[in-house]
Amino acid sequence: MSESTPNPKSDHLPDEHVVSRTMDIIEIMSLLPHRYPFLLIDRVIEMEPRQRIVAIKNVTINEQFFQGHFPGYPIMPGVLMVEAIAQAGGALLLNEIPDRDSKLMVFTSIENARFRRPVTPGDQLHIEVTVLNWRSRAVKMGGVITVDDKVVCDATVMCQVVPRAPKKAEEPKVETAE
């Protein structure tokens, strides 16, 4: 369940209160369209609207990608770490959009992605995403992922909000006599 706590690291005047919000997996799933096995954030531990978000991902041997990446030496694919940055940013972005059920957030660019250390089962990703530029439909964000306070991945991503295609109504089944 969500909770709000004052942010002691705020640069604001003492009489102003900056609220940091958290989200559990149910709230994340209400914002993002991703589902297992492609939902790559488990919890939001800090969120400053329109500025910053910190999420976590618990990496386990049960992840489907470990079956083939790599047998005998399981390493989380770097592209999935960049996707985790985008999903955390998406939770931040979509939280600000009132008609988000009719919208979808998509990548428009990935810049300067670097993978510094392997991520293996048992690691907990600490995903911090900071807004670099926010426009009405697009956001540029810088993301850094750490494990045990060591950087494992960093990247700059741009995302855009686009209309979501309406769900097609299921066609009625026609029974035939054979």
Q: Give the tokens for residue 68.
A: 């083939």
**Distance of alpha carbon 119 from alpha carbon 56, whole angstroms:** 13
> Is 34 marked active-site?
no
**Cβ atoms of 144 and 113 closer than 8 Å:** no
Q: What distance in Å separates the CA atoms of residue 166 and residue 92, rounded to the nearest whole number?
A: 23
62 vs 65: CA distance, rounded Å: 9
Contact between residue 45 and residue 53 where contact means Cβ atoms under 8 Å apart: no
Catalytic site residue from 12, 17, 34, 69: 69
Give percent helix, percent strand, percent coil of the chain, each to the nearest 5: 15, 40, 45
Catalytic annotation, residues: 69
